[in-house]
Amino acid sequence: MTAEPVLLTDALASFTDRWSPRIVISVNDYDVRVAKVEGEHVWHVHDHTDEFFLVLSGELHISLREPAGERTVVLARGAVFTVPRGTEHKPYARVPTEILMLEPTGTSTVGDRHDEVPGHVDATTGHALR
């Protein structure tokens, strides 16, 4: 953990990869991650944890498969949303988008169950900032 403040703009400027989150800082047993996203992620489920999203720039869509049916939420810049544990979901962005996520340390970006992972999606538990 860093003993200095981290500017999110500097953290986001430190990488160009899409769908490959960087761990900005940790708080208790959680990682605060930032990512640049564009295009589609993969349908996946986190069986044991909720997943928090904050859109820093752009617009994020999250398709959800819920008991009542499938729906998509649209998050504009500044919007937050939590995907409940056990909910199958697929984030996607039509334009370059920057997001912040809060997840327990060690949480996989492709969840506990997922469709085939496309080559542009990094299946990781997050990368340290450089």
Torsion angle of the four alpha carbons 80, 82, 8, 31, in this order, in degrees rounded to the nearest 10: 160
Considering the entire predicted model, what is its pTM? 0.93
- Which of 38, 50, 84 has its CA nearest to residue 65? 84
**Pairing outcome for strands 44-45 and 113-114:** antiparallel
Taking domain 8-106, whether its CATH number is 2.40.170.20 is answered by no
Binning pLDDT at 50, 70 and 90, where does residue 61 land? very high
Binning pLDDT at 50, 70 and 90, where does residue 2 land? low
pLDDT at residue 130, as a whole number: 79
92 forms bridges with which residues in the sheet? Answer: 40, 61
- All structural domains of the chain with their residue ranges: 8-106
Who has greater pLDDT, 31 or 113?
A: 31
Containing 24, the helix (H) or strand (E) segment is strand 22-27
Binning pLDDT at 50, 70 and 90, where does residue 106 land? very high
Q: Which two tokens stand for residue 81?
A: 């949303």
Q: Which two tokens stand for residue 44?
A: 């996946």
